Chains A and B, each alone.
Chain A
């Protein structure tokens, strides 16, 4: 990163907003997700973005933004502590507080719309049949829906909906009846076969899969052995999970024809290119944005720079250049 030094009149944020040369914007980084064309393949991971981040970074340089998961009815979220950091990464058990579909539309969606970048709405449910209802209640808002199926299925004693290909099929099939917009299925990590789960999503009519959610984990406080999280278990994220998710993205990409959106420990353009090289079409950035709010925009700019320096005409040519032999 080459930040202009802060001087008497500005700060590094201002310099970052001003830093983009017009020539770079001419590079074609566009990708297609179903019928949707995004200006570039970089977007935030659900839960790791909010309109308030729009003050810190030029969000319009992103391909899309993804909302925190919206449930049908309000949820309070988990007790404190909701997050901790261990050597392996960040572990969160925020518990997806949600204002419900109506609350989202009234209070949050206008702030997303004001960002001037396509909004993908993440949707959650406690049972496979609930997703379709939430999408119906969202009344056409958003450019696409990301179905967060890493939710405990209350019809199946709490097993993740996304760990069961039949449940994935039911979620996608019922939701497909409610909307023509692209459906992205965000899969959990702990499944017996990521390929079967991705195939189930594709067969039922999904336009893409997102691989993957955070990894279930139980962080203990050192020495006292007390749970570090109020909910005891949480989801591990950050660069430490990258090789685990790379494998899953590789497996899913070989199994399905629809785009695979990679999500797992991406911090830099080279992390993104790792995922592209094993078959990803787009990428999501989560944990990295907390420590470096500009991480996503930096990746977009670096992709543009790589295209220019490598003489790649568009993102696909760049991916081909950097694909493993």
Chain B
């Protein structure tokens, strides 16, 4: 749950090779979409309360570049920090910058919650006009944010340390790619708080582009860093590595965000290990509250009936083969 609702507006490609790269990017996106085809369903409402969002005029406390291509925001917003649940998101309104008017707020996952400090962290990549303008916001300025929004990740009862018959430490496997790591980080926080052992696959283009390594270290989570440049993020290498790591003692739940192929992998592993899988989706959104109906979720439904929406029925869905 991490995306910017806009068509690609990357700078004018100087070389046809860049155009080819854009086409490849589009093909990749289509393949990614195809990978989740038929996987997802809306989670039945369980313990998790419906979100009670607010909007706030949040001072920007930190706005730094992390890695080669990501931006890190720390926002002071006490109510949201105190109420956000793992995997929920914010709508961030981009203020006018340099004459650029951005009309629609951008949905972004809450990366970290610090209720005692009254702050939340967000990490985003610059993908289009909206995030380009957002990157110009200075420390000390305020951002209009609405949240917390959506139904986030939820540990199933069987994965909780208090579950009946829990003989040993419960474990959770989180898989995130790019800024998708942010969507699962709230669950890494929850795991640390609840006493679950968390293993986090952190996937990215290169080592310098891996998000959340320091957060995982702080939260005592095991990290499996994988990257495109050494091939470790690709299939079947990653699948083989996770089977080797977990076949003897599977996790109690798998939580994924950031790539359709990873959601597909998680669903396959979940089926093999007999454990539930939850996937957080990204979508183009305008309201984040359900009323604009802009974020149709890729969940198969009767075409005559309105299907689920990513913002209110998700962004986290159940995934199963």
Contacts and interface: CB of A to CB of B under 8 A. Distances in A.
Interface stretch (B51-59, B194-202, B245-253, B262-270): B51-59
Contacts of B296: 77-80, 82
Contacts of B306: 74-77, 97-99
A53 to B, nearest CB: 6
Interface stretch (A6-14, A192-200, A242-250, A254-262): A6-14
A293 B298 CA distance: 27
A102 to B, nearest CB: 13
B8 A224 contact: yes
Interface stretch (A84-92, A167-175, A207-215): A84-92
A130 to B, nearest CB: 16
Contacts of A219: 7
A6 B293 contact: no
B109 to A, nearest CB: 19
Contacts of B105: 290-291
Interface string A215-236: 0000111111010100000000
B239 interface: no
A68 B291 contact: yes
Given A6-B56, A12-B57, A224-B22, A50 B290 contact: yes
A47 B292 contact: yes
Contacts of B274: none
A287 B103 contact: yes
Interface stretch (B71-79, B166-174, B208-216, B230-238): B71-79
B97 to A, nearest CB: 14
B284 A80 contact: yes
Contacts of A12: 54-57, 144
B146 A11 contact: no
A83 B284 CA distance: 6
A323 to B, nearest CB: 28
A145 interface: no
Interface size class of B (residues with CB under 8 A): 35 or more
A22 interface: no
A311 to B, nearest CB: 32
B295 A82 contact: yes
B8 A53 contact: no
Main secondary structure of the interface of B (DSSP, over half): loop
B243 interface: no
Interface string B104-129: 11000000000000100000000001
B197 to A, nearest CB: 35
B77 A6 contact: yes
Contacts of A5: 57
Contact of B8 (A50, A55, A75, A223): A223
Given A8-B118, A86-B7, A239-B101, A53 B291 contact: yes
Nearest to B13: A223
A80 B295 CA distance: 7
Contact of A6 (B10, B58, B104): B58
Given A90-B103, A92-B286, A10 B292 contact: no
A13 B56 contact: yes
A293 B55 contact: yes
A5 B58 CA distance: 9
Interface string A22-54: 000000000000000000000000011111110
A19 interface: no
Interface of B: 5-10, 12-13, 19, 22-23, 26, 52-59, 76-80, 93-94, 101-105, 118, 129-130, 144, 146, 283-287, 289-296, 298, 301-307, 312
Interface of A: 3, 5-14, 47-53, 55-56, 68, 73-87, 89-90, 92, 94, 97-99, 219-224, 226, 228, 238-239, 287-294
What 10 A-B pairs have minimum CB-CB distances, sorted nearest first? A50-B291, A97-B306, A221-B7, A12-B57, A11-B79, A52-B289, A83-B294, A228-B7, A13-B54, A11-B56
